[in-house]
Amino acid sequence: MLEALEIESGVSDFLAAVVCEGANHECYLGLCSDCPNDKFINSCFSSKNDEEEVEYLSWQHTDSTDIKKVTSSLEIFIEDFVEYVPKILTHHYLSTQQQKFITSLREDFLKHENAITVQVDYAQNYTFVVQKSVQVRHKN
């Protein structure tokens, strides 16, 4: 089995390596033709044997979405990995931009005496529970 690829600095440094130096929104949204993404990823694995087997976790979409352990050849893994990099780049860029916007919003509006910031996360399925609600609320 192939040993895990070590990324010393983290995901942000890896993502910075697959886009142009001084990348802008076009690089992160896949609109730049000068970004080295495929070349960089292939160079990470160039010293490995393509016929080695690799185990990794992958999202599998059927009736539901689950994380499954996948065993495949290195060549298939690289193809899958190259396919997902643009999605990861876009997600990373959008989440970073949203965080910058929320931070600036908090800094600007919280200077006012009667201001509050409410952030709602729709990623989870939360149910609102009304405390001390009357019994009529629970009947059709």
- Structure confidence at residue 9 (pLDDT): 59
Gap between the Cα atoms of 14 and 7, Å rounded: 7
SS3 content of the chain, % helix, strand, coil (to 5): 40, 15, 45
* pLDDT at 2 exceeding the cut of 70: no
Residue 77 is inside which H or E element, if any? helix 74-109
CA–CA separation, 77 and 42 (whole Å): 11
According to DSSP, residue 8 is labeled S
pTM: 0.62
pLDDT in tens, 91-136: 888 988 988 988 888 888 777 777 777 777 666 565 666 666 555 5
What would the pLDDT profile of 64-91 be if each residue is shown by its tens digit?
A: 778 889 898 888 888 888 888 888 888 8
In the block, residue with structure tokens 């396919």: 83
